[in-house]
Each structure stands twice: as structure tokens, then as C-alpha cells.
Structure 1
Amino acid sequence: MTTLADRPHTALLVIDMQRDVVAAAHRRDEVIARINFLLDRARAEGVPVVWVQHSDADMPIDSEGWRFVPELVRRDDEPLVHKRFGDSFEATELEEVLAERGVGRLVVTGAQTDVCVRSTLHGGLVRGYDVTLVGDAHTAEDRSAHGAPPPEQVIAHTNLYWRFQSAPGRRGGTVNAAEVDFGPAERATGAA
């Protein structure tokens, strides 16, 4: 149902699964295991996998903390998008990477739920994509000392509200990893 013409394909997006980003993340190992499950499925089905990697003053390029977690291995033929803002589309080549592959639907995983994942969900939807969040394959660290809810509540709330997101000609949706359908949005499980 994407509003992007001639973009029938789906891509798996892996956002910021970097050492420093997920060092203290809620259920880190479980989320990594689910992302690996999805990577295996996407690769077996010929679904494009796109990796997003954040950098900033606290996490400079080529620093140890900037690297992806060792449990997740990016293949050389899988695009890597470098970003400096929360939204993976903002000031990056993500749109061009997706257009080259005919992608109109995103299946989103990664970290941090309350920053880069949410920004990218909204960024994709407003740019015309159908955007499915994998509800058990994203995570956040505990920021309750700063007034935020505990991470399990941040994750649950994001899963809840994204389940019902839509806009003219496109939609969001939340599914668990075991329910992901990499097909076009019209047949995807869990779309709103």
C-alpha cells in the first residue's frame, strides 16, 4: 500500500546495533537473537538487508563503541548507511539505497527504541513507506533516572501506538519476529 510508485519490495532495516548503543540495553541478547533470526530469513528469501550506523561526538567513527555488536554480522553486499541524526533518512543516502532496490516497505529492528527507532518509523511513514516495527526486536537502555519510564514500558508503548499508525496510502504496524512477512504490504501480517 506504499505511496511510492514501482516499489513492491520489502527491506529489513537494522538500526544502530552498535556496542555502545546497546551495551546496557533492555534484553540485549534476546533482541540480538531475534534480529539474527530475521537476518537468516531475509537472506534466505532474497530480501534486502540495510544496516544503519550512528556516529556523533560521543561515538566517533571507527571507535570501539561505534562498531556493530559482534553477534550481528553484516555481509559485504548489504548496504551500510551512516547517520548523525535520529531519523535514519535525515541527511543520509537511505532513500537512494531503498529506491535502487525497489523498496516501498520497511521492517524495522534495532536501538534505541525511544530515539532512533521511533524517529525512523515516523521518517519512513511520512516519506511514503509502509513501516512495520518488529515488536520484540528493538530495545532501549534504562533512562528512568532522567524521568523516562522504564525500558520495558517504553518498548511496550511504542509497540502499542505503532500498531495503529497509518496515513493516506500507507500504514504502520507491529508484529513479533516469528510473525514477520517479508512480502508486500498488502499481505503483511499485523498491518493496521
Structure 2
Amino acid sequence: MTTLENRPHTALLVVDVQNGVVEGAHERDVVVANIGVLVERARREQIPVVWVQHSDEQLVRGSDNWRIVPELAPDDAEPLVEKHYSDSFEDTTLETVLSGLGVGRLVVAGAQTDECIRSTIHGAFVRGYDVTLVSDAHTTEDQTEWGAPPPDKVIAHTNLYWTYQTAPGRTAGTAETKNVDFGRTS
């Protein structure tokens, strides 16, 4: 139901599952394992997997912190989009990559819930994409020291409000890893 013309396909978008991003994240191993399940299922179903990798002063390009976690291995044929802002679309090649694949629906997983995940799902939605957030395949670190709720509450709140997100001609929602339906078309 995307508002993007001639974009019938779905892609799995894996955002910032990098050593330095998820090393202290809530339920890191469970989330990374769920993302691994999604990646393997997408590959099996011939659904494009698009990787996003952040770099900044703390995630210096080429450093160990910058690398995608060892449990996940992007295939050489899978697009990798480098970014410097929270929204994976902002000043990147993501829109060009997705357009070239005919993608109008995104299934999103990764980190961090309260920054890059939220920015990316909102960025995709306002650009006309249908967006499914995988409710048990995104995470964040504990930022209660700075006044944020505990990580489990941040994740639960994001899942709650994304379940009910609406806009004309687009769909949003959440699904657990085991219930994700990539489908061939939106």
C-alpha cells in the first residue's frame, strides 16, 4: 500500500548492528540472534537485505567498534549504506538503493531503538514507505543516567506507538521475528 509508485517489493533493513553500538545493549545476544534469523529467512526467500553502518567520532570508519558484529555477515552482493546521521536516509544512498530494488516496504531491525531506529522508521514512513518494525529485533543501551527510561521501557514504548502509527496510503506496525511476513509485494 506504499505511496511510492512501482515499488512492489520488500527489503529487510538492518541498522547499525555494530560492535560499538550494541556492546552494552539490552538483551544484545537475543536481538542479534533474532536479526540473524531474519537475515537468513530473507536470503532464503530472495528478499533483499540492506545493511546500514554508522560512522562518527566514536565509531571511526575501519575501527573494531565500527565493524558489524561477528555473528552477522553481510553478503558481498548485499548493499551496505554508510551513514553519519540518525536517519538512515539522511545524506546517504539508501533511497537510491531501495528505488533500484523496487522496494516500497521495509522490515526494520537493529540499534539503537531511541535514536537511529526511531529516526529511520519515521524517515521511511514520511518518505512514503510501508514500515514494519521487528519488535524483538531492536535494542538500545541503558541511558537512565541521563533521564531516559530503562532500555526495556524504551523498546516497549517504541513498539507500542509504532503498532498504531497511521498515515494516508501507508502502513506501519510491528511483528515479532517469528511472525515477520516478508511477502514478495507490499
Q: CA deviation at 1:22?
A: 0.3
1:79 and 2:79 matched: yes
- Whichever residue aligns with residue 163 of structure 1, its letter is T
Long gaps (5+) in structure 2: none
The TM-score with structure 1 as length reference comes to 0.95
Identify the residue that residue 31 of structure 2 maps to in structure 1.
Answer: 31
One-letter code aligned to 1:37? V
Whether 1:111 aligns to 2:100 is no
Shift of the alpha carbon at 1:166? 1.6
Matches within 5 A, 1:151-190: 151-183=151-183, 184-185=185-186
- When the two chains are superposed, the root-mean-square deviation of aligned CA atoms in Å is 0.6
In 2: Cα distance, 1:134 partner to 1:8 partner:
20
Letter in 1 for 2:147: G
For the residue of structure 2 that corresponds to 1:21, the secondary structure is helix
1:8 equivalent in structure 2: 8
SS in 1 for 2:114: helix
Give CA-to-partner distance per residue, 1:115-170, whole Å, 9 cap, x none: 00000000000000000000000000000011000000000000000001121100
State the Cα distance separating 1:59 from its structure 2 match.
Answer: 1.2
In the TM superposition, what whole-angstrom CA distance separates every residue of 1:48-87 from its partner, at most 9, and x where no partner exists?
A: 0000000001211001100011001100000000000000
1:130 pairs with 2:130? yes
Deviations 1:71-124 (A, max 9, x none): 011000000000000000000000000000000000000000000000000000
Q: Please give the residue correspondences for 1:51-66 in structure 2 after superposition, counting only pairs within 5 Å.
A: 51-66=51-66
Counterpart amino acid of 2:63?
Answer: S
Structure 1 segments of 4 or more deviating over 6 A? none
Q: Secondary structure at the match of 2:123?
A: helix
Distance in 1 of aligned mates of 2:171 and 2:117: 16
Aligned length: 185
Identity rate, percent: 63
In the alignment, the residues of structure 1 paired with residue 60 and residue 31 of structure 2 have an alpha-carbon distance, to the nearest angstrom, of: 24
* Counterpart secondary structure, 2:65: helix
In structure 2, C-alpha distance between the alignment counterparts of 1:20 and 1:57, rounded to whole Å: 11
d(CA) in 2 for partners of 1:170, 1:9: 14
Q: Secondary structure at the match of 1:138?
A: strand
Letter in 2 for 1:116: C
Gaps of 5+ in 1: 186-192
Q: What's the counterpart of residue 88 of structure 1? A: 88
**TM-score, L = length of structure 2:** 0.98
Give the residue type in structure 2 aligned to 1:142: D
Question: Structure 1 CA distance, aligned partners of 2:36 and 2:57?
Answer: 29
Q: Who is 1:189 aligned against?
A: none
Equivalent residue letter for 2:20:
D
